[in-house]
């Protein structure tokens, strides 16, 4: 096939087509939309061999990777169709947002492409879809299948185009009501900044970006399982998966033996034509990717030690890159994600286990993490401490299954919610309240020399960590105690007070249901899969309109019950009342610094504080736009602006998701003997 990249007029036409199709699609009953998605799933299965062939020719995917690719796309279609029917957003007063811009990468040209598109469609939005330039043909073929299945014209407007051209033209376009992106961390941050500068900011961005994925192997691990999982996780798909293993930490006592076994397994790998079933590893995507990997090899040759390099076929011009195993002295030598089949080994001493986990967190990335150990306590400790979105215990760390291991990272690795998880669709619907607010926006007051302007979040950060460790029961009972004292406030309008308190108490009950135990997810026998919710840390809460006091209280309690700390910023008028509230909270047993209030002038500094985990702003706040803009000037992770007024969505947004997948059949032998005291 051949492609021609879209020009400005074509890009405009795509946005116009998706916009024109929106009203009709949004009004289509959910069962009808879901049936179209399921029809497409069936069509993909019917055209499976053809699609695998295109993935192989266009993206260099091996046949097994092609099989998994089609299967994942099918899973996404059926999963989001079912979740949208179940959620019944319309009945809850939530509607689609409008046109969603979906920007997808080449490494899962069908699965990620259709994952984004199907979620947006299931929620009732229409889509401008921008697949990666390298894999436009498979997207074009998918669109033909969609037409054959009866999707109305314009519901998905496909743009075969250069990323930058589409970004520059459509991201500022007010018709685009949300952006879904999977790709590099750099482009993700660029998109966040562009969206923040729009007059109608905040515009939701769901970004899935890179990782620096590590696996820790201690001396109790079963070496055969480790080798199998390292080779799969590091080299399958030529390491071109966001989830792929990049850094392998081996306890020094077993390192030599395990390295020797990995090298043995690497000798068996066949790099070559991905169309041949005998091939394990195909080419990398293009010359640019190859040059990037070769640059990294030069860097490693100077800073590390080559342990093994696979053979590649001797052909003319090609983009094969030989899988390599390198030893490096420490993780900090790796400054960025290297997207290819290179596994870096770092040795560690048993006593340094916790330090290794801390180093992994310090990278700022948080996508996948693996641990191999037959000591359950070590596995659970790592699963708990490592701030990654997907944790894999005694198994490989790639190939997340839709609905079983919801996928996505935190920090520099993405914004959440997780793809193929229960919260994904909720980002794609709206109460419509933000839109009402576009006029009458205010700037944030400048810090200047006003009191409170030099606050930092350091104390609040420590308080959040201690509070989260106290456990749910204690947090809930402290908050209930506070609410009891709040109910006795004399000066309030009793009716309003009762209404607020009932809503907040309901929220606490919902939080208990949600947080008491991780949600266990369906999966095959021998595998345990669960979805955990963890606090974001320090959250800012903007208090700028006394008509919203009840909703502010709801926001504060929702954040606190999940284990976050709250630093509120109040206008002069609201300051005294909320300071009194802090005193009431502290007398009810809430720790100091967990909930505090500063004047609004401190916003300037606090919004840029490195410890910040997110900001809660009322959907109708006149400072919403200014906060969105300020937040986007930060370096590093894209932080959430939590502006939703629906309480359950609000609670979910104060939390981050973590999928934990355990191979429960892997702990060969009686591992409990190893943890006995004598």
Site for ligand ADP contains 183 (CB under 6 A) = yes
Grouping H, G, I as helix, E, B as strand and the rest as coil, residue 399 is coil
Q: How far is the CB of 239 from ligand ADP (least distance, A)?
A: 13
The stretch near ligand ADP (CB under 6 A) out of 99-107, 140-148, 484-492, 497-505 is: 99-107
The stretch near ligand ADP (CB under 6 A) out of 15-23, 103-111, 458-466, 487-495 is: 103-111
**What are the Cα distances from residue 562, in Å, to 208, 410, 420, 539?**
24, 17, 23, 11
Nearest CA to 132 out of 5, 217, 254 is that of 5
Grouping H, G, I as helix, E, B as strand and the rest as coil, residue 464 is helix
Site for ligand ADP contains 133 (CB under 6 A) = yes
Grouping H, G, I as helix, E, B as strand and the rest as coil, residue 657 is strand
Q: Which residue is nearest to ligand ADP (CB)?
A: 167
Let me know how long the chain is.
678
Between residues 59 and 94, which has the closer beta carbon with respect to ligand ADP? 59
The stretch near ligand ADP (CB under 6 A) out of 125-133, 309-317, 414-422, 627-635 is: 125-133
Site for ligand ADP contains 157 (CB under 6 A) = no
CA angle centred on 81, ends 80 and 87, rounded to 5°:
80
Between residues 108 and 348, which has the closer beta carbon with respect to ligand ADP? 108
Q: How far is the CB of 173 from ligand ADP (least distance, A)?
A: 12
Q: How far is the CB of 367 from ligand ADP (least distance, A)?
A: 14
Between residues 166 and 176, which has the closer beta carbon with respect to ligand ADP? 166
User: Burial code of 519-546, b = ≥16 C-beta within 10 A, e = fewer?
Assistant: eebebeeebebbbbbbbbbbbbbbbbbe
* Rounded Cα gap, residues 424 and 123, in angstroms: 10
Between residues 43 and 180, which has the closer beta carbon with respect to ligand ADP? 180
Site for ligand ADP contains 169 (CB under 6 A) = no
Q: How far is the CB of 120 from ligand ADP (least distance, A)?
A: 16
Site for ligand ADP contains 105 (CB under 6 A) = yes
Site for ligand ADP contains 163 (CB under 6 A) = yes
Site for ligand ADP contains 164 (CB under 6 A) = yes
Site for ligand ADP contains 119 (CB under 6 A) = no
CA angle centred on 102, ends 190 and 142, rounded to 5°:
145
Site for ligand ADP contains 102 (CB under 6 A) = no
**Known catalytic membership, residue 242:** yes
Between residues 342 and 371, which has the closer beta carbon with respect to ligand ADP? 342
Residue pair 120/429 in contact (Cβ under 8 Å)? The answer is no
Beta-bridge partners for 529: 521, 661
Q: How many residues bind ligand ADP (CB under 6 A)?
A: 14
The stretch near ligand ADP (CB under 6 A) out of 38-46, 100-108, 516-524, 587-595 is: 100-108
Handedness of CA 83, 86, 91, 93 (dihedral sign): negative
* Rounded Cα gap, residues 642 and 657, in angstroms: 16
* List 166, 334, 596, 601, residue binding ligand ADP (CB under 6 A): 166
Q: How far is the CB of 211 from ligand ADP (least distance, A)?
A: 12
Residue pair 5/159 in contact (Cβ under 8 Å)? The answer is no
Q: Which of 55, 102, 242, 644 is catalytic?
A: 242
Site for ligand ADP contains 190 (CB under 6 A) = yes
* Rounded Cα gap, residues 369 and 367, in angstroms: 7
* Rounded Cα gap, residues 196 and 662, in angstroms: 39
Between residues 192 and 627, which has the closer beta carbon with respect to ligand ADP? 192
Nearest CA to 163 out of 145, 141, 179, 146 is that of 179
The stretch near ligand ADP (CB under 6 A) out of 81-89, 184-192, 342-350, 366-374 is: 184-192
Site for ligand ADP in 381-440 (CB under 6 A): none
* Residue 641 Ramachandran class (φ > 0 left, ψ -120 to 50 alpha, else beta): beta
Residue pair 113/104 in contact (Cβ under 8 Å)? The answer is yes
Q: CB burial class (10 A; 0-12, 13-18, 19+) of residue 509?
A: exposed
* List 96, 98, 167, 409, residue binding ligand ADP (CB under 6 A): 167
Site for ligand ADP contains 103 (CB under 6 A) = yes
Q: How far is the CB of 638 from ligand ADP (least distance, A)?
A: 14
Between residues 162 and 492, which has the closer beta carbon with respect to ligand ADP? 162
Q: How far is the CB of 338 from ligand ADP (least distance, A)?
A: 12
Site for ligand ADP contains 257 (CB under 6 A) = no
Site for ligand ADP contains 206 (CB under 6 A) = no
Residue showing tokens 């919610």: 417
Contacts by residues 55-58 (CB-CB < 8 Å, ≥ 24 positions apart): 55/109, 55/110, 55/135, 55/138, 56/274, 56/275, 56/282, 57/275, 58/1, 58/109, 58/134, 58/135, 58/137, 58/138
* Rounded Cα gap, residues 580 and 668, in angstroms: 58
Between residues 190 and 299, which has the closer beta carbon with respect to ligand ADP? 190
Between residues 167 and 614, which has the closer beta carbon with respect to ligand ADP? 167
Between residues 194 and 455, which has the closer beta carbon with respect to ligand ADP? 194
Between residues 134 and 649, which has the closer beta carbon with respect to ligand ADP? 134
Nearest CA to 250 out of 278, 271, 229 is that of 229
Residue pair 217/248 in contact (Cβ under 8 Å)? The answer is yes
Site for ligand ADP contains 187 (CB under 6 A) = yes
The stretch near ligand ADP (CB under 6 A) out of 101-109, 269-277, 372-380, 613-621 is: 101-109
CA 539 to chain centre: 18
* List 184, 456, 462, 549, residue binding ligand ADP (CB under 6 A): 184
* Rounded Cα gap, residues 619 and 204, in angstroms: 13
Site for ligand ADP in 557-596 (CB under 6 A): none
Nearest CA to 435 out of 172, 647, 84, 198 is that of 198
Site for ligand ADP contains 340 (CB under 6 A) = no
Q: How far is the CB of 144 from ligand ADP (least distance, A)?
A: 20
**Known catalytic membership, residue 208:** yes
The stretch near ligand ADP (CB under 6 A) out of 24-32, 164-172, 498-506, 514-522 is: 164-172
Between residues 183 and 445, which has the closer beta carbon with respect to ligand ADP? 183
Q: Which of 58, 69, 208, 327 is catalytic?
A: 208
The stretch near ligand ADP (CB under 6 A) out of 160-168, 255-263, 552-560, 621-629 is: 160-168
Nearest CA to 562 out of 516, 528, 631 is that of 516
Site for ligand ADP contains 361 (CB under 6 A) = no
User: Burial code of 644-653, b = ≥16 C-beta within 10 A, e = fewer?
Assistant: bbbbbbbbbb
Question: Which pair of tokens denotes residue 58?
Answer: 């266009």
List residues with catalytic annotation. 208, 242
Residues at the site binding ligand ADP, with contacts judged by CB under 6 A: 103-105, 130, 132-133, 163-164, 166-167, 183-184, 187, 190
């Amino acid at each position: 096939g051949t492609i021609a990249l879209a020009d400005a007029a074509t890009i405009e036409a795509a946005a116009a087509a998706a916009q024109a199709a929106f009203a009709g699609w949004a009004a289509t009953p959910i069962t009808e939309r879901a049936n179209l998605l399921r029809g497409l799933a069936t069509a993909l299965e019917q055209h499976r061999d053809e699609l695998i062939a295109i993935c192989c020719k266009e993206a260099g995917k091996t046949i097994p990777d092609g099989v998994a690719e089609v299967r994942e796309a099918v899973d996404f279609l059926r999963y989001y169709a079912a979740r949208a029917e179940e959620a019944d957003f319309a009945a809850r007063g939530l509607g689609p947002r409008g046109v969603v811009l979906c920007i997808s990468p080449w490494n899962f040209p069908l699965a990620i492409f259709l994952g984004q598109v199907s979620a947006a469609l299931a929620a009732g939005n229409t889509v401008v879809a921008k697949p990666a330039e390298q894999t436009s043909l498979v997207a074009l073929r998918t669109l033909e299948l969609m037409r054959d299945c009866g999707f109305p014209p314009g519901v998905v407007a496909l743009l075969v185009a250069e990323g930058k051209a589409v970004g520059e033209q459509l991201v500022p376009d007010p018709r685009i009501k949300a952006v879904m992106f999977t790709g590099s961390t750099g482009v993700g941050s660029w998109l966040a900044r562009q969206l923040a500068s729009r007059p109608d900011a905040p515009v939701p961005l769901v970004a899935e970006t890179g990782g620096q994925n590590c696996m820790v192997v201690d001396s109790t691990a079963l070496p055969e399982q480790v080798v199998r999982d390292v080779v799969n996780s590091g080299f399958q798909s030529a390491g071109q998966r966001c989830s792929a293993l990049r850094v392998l930490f081996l306890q020094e006592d077993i390192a030599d033996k395990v390295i020797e076994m990995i090298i043995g397994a690497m000798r068996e790998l066949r790099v070559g034509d991905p169309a041949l079933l005998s091939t394990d590893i195909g080419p990398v995507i293009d010359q640019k990717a190859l040059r990037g990997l070769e640059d990294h090899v030069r860097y490693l040759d100077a800073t590390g030690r080559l342990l093994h390099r696979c053979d590649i076929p001797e052909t003319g011009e090609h983009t094969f890159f030989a899988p390599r195993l390198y030893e490096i002295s420490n993780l900090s030598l790796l400054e960025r994600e290297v997207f290819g089949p290179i596994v870096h080994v770092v040795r560690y001493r048993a006593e340094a286990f916790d330090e290794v986990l801390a180093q992994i967190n310090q990278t700022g990335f948080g996508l996948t993490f693996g641990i191999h150990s037959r000591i359950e306590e070590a596995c659970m400790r790592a699963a708990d401490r490592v701030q990654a979105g997907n944790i894999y215990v005694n198994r490989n760390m790639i190939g997340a299954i839709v609905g079983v291991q919801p996928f996505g990272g935190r920090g520099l690795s993405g914004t959440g919610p997780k793809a193929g998880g229960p919260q994904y669709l909720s980002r794609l619907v709206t109460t419509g309240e933000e839109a009402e607010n576009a006029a009458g926006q205010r700037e944030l007051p400048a810090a200047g020399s006003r009191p409170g302007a030099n606050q930092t979040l350091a104390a609040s950060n420590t308080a959040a960590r201690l509070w989260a460790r106290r456990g749910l029961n204690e947090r809930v009972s402290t908050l209930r105690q506070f609410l009891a004292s709040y109910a006795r406030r004399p000066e309030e309008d009793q009716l309003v007070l009762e209404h607020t308190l009932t809503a907040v108490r309901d929220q606490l009950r919902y939080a208990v249901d949600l947080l008491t135990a991780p949600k266990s997810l369906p999966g095959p026998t021998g595998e345990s899969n669960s979805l955990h919710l963890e606090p974001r840390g320090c959250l800012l809460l903007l208090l700028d309109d006394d008509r919203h006091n009840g909703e502010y209280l709801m926001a504060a309690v929702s954040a606190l019950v999940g284990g976050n700390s709250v630093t509120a910023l109040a206008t002069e008028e609201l300051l005294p009342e909320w300071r009194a509230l802090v005193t009431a909270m502290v007398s009810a047993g809430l720790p100091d610094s967990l909930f505090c209030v500063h004047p609004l002038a401190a916003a300037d500094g606090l919004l840029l504080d490195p410890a910040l985990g997110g900001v809660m702003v009322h959907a109708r706040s006149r400072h919403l736009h200014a906060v969105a803009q300020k937040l986007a000037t930060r370096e590093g992770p894209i932080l959430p602006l939590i502006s939703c007024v629906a309480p359950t969505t609000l609670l979910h947004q104060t939390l981050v998701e973590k999928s934990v997948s355990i191979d429960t059949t892997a702990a060969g032998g009686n591992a409990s003997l190893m943890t006995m005291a004598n």
